Homo-oligomer: A and B are copies of this chain.
Amino acid sequence: MTGRRMLVVGAHSADFVWRAAGAVAAHTAAGGEALVLALSYGERGESGELWKDPNQTIENVKRIRHAEAEQAAAAVGAKFESFDLGDYPLRVGDEQVERLASLLRTFAPQVVLTHPDRDPFNPDHPAAHAAVALARQLSAGAGVASGFATAPPSEFLAFEPHQPELCGFVPTVFVDITAVMPAKREAMAAMSAQGYLREYYDQRADHRGNHARRVSGNAAIRQAEAFQRLIPNVVGAL
């Protein structure tokens, strides 16, 4: 994995923790580099706990959310950045798509993870998906010689949403995160504002571990994360 770069884009600063922190940790543990980008801080939709403080300010909420995400990212060996575009609704304009495309050209990741394209429970998730999909295409070019700088195409996967079946999510790859589960737990622990999700995703990792064990026959797997490849990957042999 040395020299392999992974980019994880979430609509909100905490999204990557629940659904992909294990894959990030496995990637960095194997020598890869990982960057987490949050399009917003989820300061309106997902920070209700913080707003219980009557003196709370939007800037303070963002500051706290930034610190938490940075700490969670560090726990799995990744860097964290935010575009701070606002949430509920998240709206990613043309300029921001270009900014994201530019980041893709610069960072040139081999793997890109983001939300699925559909989520009946959160409008920001599909908005994030659309922005990433478009920026990824713009940075990669049309597959023929183009009149602008391009980055190589990357593997493109969706991480698991909260209610998978209702988002049209069908797993196509399970990542064994048994060895890095402590790191994922540490990342989840950094998310104080959404603390109750810790138990949910801790159990979910066990369930996906059960599925991965069933699929592979590998009894050593205890925890896993599920992903759906959005375009085929290319291999040298099966």
Indicate the member of A1, A146, A200, A210 with the most B CB atoms within 10 Å: A146
**Which residues of B lie under 8 Å from residue A76 when comparing CB positions?**
none
Q: C-beta contact mask, A191-235 vs B, less than 8 Å → 1, else 0?
A: 000100100100110110011111111100100101101111111
Chain A: residues with Cβ within 8 Å of the partner, total of 92
| Interchain nearest-CB distance for A59 vs B (Å) | 13
Residue A79 at the B interface, CB < 8 A? no
Q: Which of B44, B147, B157, B237 contacts A48 (CB 8 A)?
A: B147
Indicate the member of A120, A171, A214, A229 with the most B CB atoms within 10 Å: A214
Residue A74 at the B interface, CB < 8 A? no
In the complex, what residue of chain B is closest to A225 when comparing beta carbons? B238
**Alpha-carbon gap, A173 to B233, bound state (A):** 5
**Which residues of B lie under 8 Å from residue A32 when comparing CB positions?**
237
DSSP majority for the A interface?
mixed
**Which residues of B lie under 8 Å from residue A171 when comparing CB positions?**
165-166, 232
In the complex, what residue of chain B is closest to A6 when comparing beta carbons? B238
In the complex, what residue of chain B is closest to A120 when comparing beta carbons? B231
**Which residues of B lie under 8 Å from residue A42 when comparing CB positions?**
142
**Which residues of B lie under 8 Å from residue A134 when comparing CB positions?**
89, 123
**Alpha-carbon gap, A47 to B173, bound state (A):** 29
**Alpha-carbon gap, A88 to B235, bound state (A):** 29
| Interchain nearest-CB distance for A216 vs B (Å) | 4
Residue A43 at the B interface, CB < 8 A? yes
**Which residues of B lie under 8 Å from residue A170 when comparing CB positions?**
165-166
**Which residues of B lie under 8 Å from residue A91 when comparing CB positions?**
94
Whether B138 pairs with A89 at a CB distance below 8 angstroms is yes
Whether B200 pairs with A207 at a CB distance below 8 angstroms is yes
**Alpha-carbon gap, A175 to B153, bound state (A):** 17
**Which residues of B lie under 8 Å from residue A147 when comparing CB positions?**
43-45, 47-48, 50-51, 61
A→B interface (CB under 8 Å): 1, 6, 23, 26-27, 29-30, 32, 42-52, 61, 88-89, 91, 94, 97, 111, 113, 120-123, 133-134, 137-138, 140-148, 152-153, 155-157, 162-166, 169-176, 194, 197, 200, 203-204, 206-207, 210-218, 221, 224, 226-227, 229-238
